[in-house]
Amino acid sequence: MISVTEALQIITAQTKPLPTEEVDLLQSTGRILAQPITADRDFPPFDRATMDGVAIGSRAFGQDVRQFRITDMQPAGHPQKQLTNRGNCIEIMTGAMLPIGADVVIRYEDLTITNGIAYVNLNEVTPYQNVHLQGSDKKAGELLVEAGVKITPAIVAIMASVGMATVPVYRLPKVVVCSTGDELVPVTQQPLPHQIRQSNSYMLLAGLQQECIIADKYHLPDEPEAMAEQMAKMVEEYDVLLFSGAVSKGKFDFLPQVLQQLGMQTLFHSIAQKPGKPLLFGKFNDGALVFGFPGNPVSTWVCYQLYFKAWLYRSLNIKLPLQQAALSKDIKFKPPLTHHVLVRLTNHNGQLIATPVDTSTSGDMVNLMQAEGFISLPTDQEHFAEGSVFDVQLF
């Protein structure tokens, strides 16, 4: 049986750089940007009024001029006007170009306007007051967003502003999620006393959706020939096959043998860990990877998070979300296995505290929802003291 570290090494050795593709701007949120974005023009592209009011020249104000005749209007979206006389001003709206000859915007709140004359009720003004100067955020040609970041709504706004209707992103793998087991019935079906509804596959599909992966879904019976028939097509079609169940020692756990008959090379089957000991990982010659997650829901979820996401994030060259947190209580764990402890997080005087979530067994899917992540406790200790700090991998 291999260790968690060895398993992660074997899995991450199976990553290769993903090709890129163009997606619509609004389909890009959450995807990984494949090219850097540079400013096509200055940010902002002109001296921009940041307040509604009037535009004047600060020199006139310095020469004790306090009243200005309103001669024109400079709304946003209109070509730049010109201030021709130091005793004049131009009404200006937020977002408009600062007129030629003006360098200050006085807010309406600081003005008294009577008969077309604006009186400035201020003792001093400074040049470029209430003006967002051209190029002050970024200059044309400068880097705005580096490649390799996860696209957020703010990045979508930047891409829109530089005219990108489509966005180059790393292609995501084509994934299929496959539940196994004769006890499982569809969500819409009333289970008989010996049956349960499928839930692991939905948990995996939902998890994949959070990574922007829309996977296909299959269900396989506990019958080797029927399994093989359906799976042969999957190997051709998908980059990654995620199975749940049928990987342990049961008389109906046919998955490892069927996959091997179809030509899968087993890279490991079982890890020194709890939960998730019988995890299966393999690959086909044409490149399809197989993760066989143990069927108990907590095992499926922890193995998906720890192993599939390690592979996915390494392929995309991004970091897994980790937070350091201190244990809320002592944990004792005897066997020489890596113990993955589900935790929820709270903040205590600025220190993040990880409180273990009580699940009765790894089949307890109801209490799984309490967990915000998990800690992988190392094998070289049996006693983990309250207050000791560990990385929490966040769900």
Ligand X SMILES: Nc1nc2c(c(=O)[nH]1)N[C@H]1C(S)=C(S)[C@@H](COP(=O)(O)OP(=O)(O)OC[C@H]3O[C@@H](n4cnc5c(N)ncnc54)[C@H](O)[C@@H]3O)O[C@H]1N2
Choose between 184 and 342: whose C-beta lies nearer to ligand X: 184
Q: Is the backbone of residue 84 left (phi > 0), alpha (psi -120 to 50) or beta?
A: alpha
| x/- map, 151-180, ligand X, by CB under 6 A | ----------------------------xx
- From candidates 181, 207, 256, 282, binder to ligand X by CB under 6 A: 181
Check if the beta carbon of residue 2 is closer than 8 Å to that of residue 271: yes
- Smallest separation, CB 18 to ligand MOO (Å): 30
Helix (H, G, I), strand (E, B) or coil at 200: helix
Choose between 249 and 319: whose C-beta lies nearer to ligand X: 249
- Smallest separation, CB 278 to Mg ion (Å): 8
The number of residues that bind ligand X (CB under 6 A) is 28
Strand pairing partners for 355? 344
Helix axis angle, 4-12 to 309-316, nearest 10°: 40
Residue-wise over 162-194: b if at least 16 C-beta within 10 A, else e? eebeebbbbbbbebbbbbbbebbbeeeeeeeee
Helices (H), 150-245: 153-161, 200-210, 224-237
Q: Name the DSSP letter for residue 271.
A: B
Q: Is residue 248 at the binding interface for Mg ion, with CB under 5 A as the rule?
A: yes
Give 341: exposed, middle or buried? Use CB within 10 Å, 0-12, 13-18, 19+: buried
Choose between 102 and 279: whose C-beta lies nearer to ligand MOO: 279
Q: Is the backbone of residue 184 left (phi > 0), alpha (psi -120 to 50) or beta?
A: beta
Q: Is residue 207 at the binding interface for ligand MOO, with CB under 6 A as the rule?
A: no
- Smallest separation, CB 232 to ligand X (Å): 21
Choose between 179 and 296: whose C-beta lies nearer to ligand MOO: 296
- From candidates 75, 250, 321, 336, binder to Mg ion by CB under 5 A: 250
- Smallest separation, CB 334 to ligand X (Å): 16
Piece of the chain touching Mg ion by CB under 5 A; list 99-107, 209-217, 252-260, 346-354? 252-260
Query: Sign of the CA dihedral 28, 32, 35, 36?
Result: positive
Window 265-304: residues binding ligand MOO (CB under 6 A):
274-277, 294, 296, 299
Q: Is residue 103 at the binding interface for Mg ion, with CB under 5 A as the rule?
A: no
Q: Is residue 245 at the binding interface for ligand X, with CB under 6 A as the rule?
A: yes
The tokens describing 291, both together, are 């993760």
The tokens describing 39, both together, are 């400013």
The number of residues that bind ligand MOO (CB under 6 A) is 8
Q: Is the backbone of residue 196 left (phi > 0), alpha (psi -120 to 50) or beta?
A: beta
- From candidates 46, 363, 388, 394, binder to ligand X by CB under 6 A: 363
Which residues make Cβ contacts (< 8 Å) with residue 135, sequence separation at least 6?
42, 43, 44
- Smallest separation, CB 362 to ligand MOO (Å): 3
Choose between 72 and 183: whose C-beta lies nearer to Mg ion: 183
- From candidates 88, 305, 359, 362, binder to ligand MOO by CB under 6 A: 362
Window 67-96: residues binding ligand X (CB under 6 A):
none
Q: Is residue 201 at the binding interface for ligand X, with CB under 6 A as the rule?
A: yes
Residue whose C-beta lies closest to ligand X:
295
Question: Which residues contribute to the site for ligand MOO (CB under 6 A)?
Answer: 274-277, 294, 296, 299, 362
